[in-house]
Amino acid sequence: MTSPIDSIVNNSNVEVPAAITAAQNSAKQKMDGQMFMQLLVAQLRAQDPSSPMDTNAMMTQTAQLASMEQLTTMSNLSQESFSLQMRVAASALIGKEVGYVDSDGTTKKGIASAVSFADSVPTVTIGDKSIRLDAISGVTTAS
């Protein structure tokens, strides 16, 4: 199966930028705006002057670039929002009795006394243990 990158590279008589060749060879290449622009420039350089690129195709590709950049921005904002929500949720646990399953499989409870944001998932201090927020199984008002 040929990719759009292969068709651009194989139909050109122009030397392809190293970034495009590296992107083509990388199994886990991240598509970003810079790579998209490099592909568009390579495509423009390789076009036949007697049969230039269709302006509709160019406009479509430009619109795709803009859409991709907006989706990337939205994805980043969504990740930041989720991270903030986890921090707020962890902070709200301080002073509450929380339940969690210990490493030996025993369900334990204790009062949350502190929260750490050092890792990607906040940790809640319960007694002398630091428990990841996603490992907490229940919350009740401390008696």
* The predicted structure's pLDDT at residue 21: 52
3-state secondary structure 55-79: HHHHHHHHHHHHHHHHHHHHHHHHH
Q: What is the pTM of this model?
A: 0.55
Which value, in Å, is the radius of gyration of the alpha carbons in the chain? Answer: 26
Architecture of domain 90-140: Roll (2.30)
Q: Which residues of the chain are in CATH 2.30.30 domains?
A: 90-140
- The model's pLDDT over 44-80, given as tens digits with 9 standing for 90+, comes to 788 877 877 777 877 887 888 888 888 888 999 999 9
pLDDT at 94 over 90: yes
Identify the pLDDT of residue 46: 82
Q: For the range 27-33, what are the long-range contacts, defined as Cβ-Cβ under 8 Å and sequence gap of 24 or more?
A: 31/68, 32/72, 33/65, 33/68, 33/69, 33/72
Percent of the chain with pLDDT over 70: 75
Which amino acid would we find at residue 66?
Answer: A
Euclidean distance between CA atoms 65 and 36, whole angstroms? 7
pLDDT at 24: 52
Band of residue 11 on the pLDDT scale cut at 50, 70, 90:
very low
Q: Residue 62: its pLDDT value, please?
A: 80
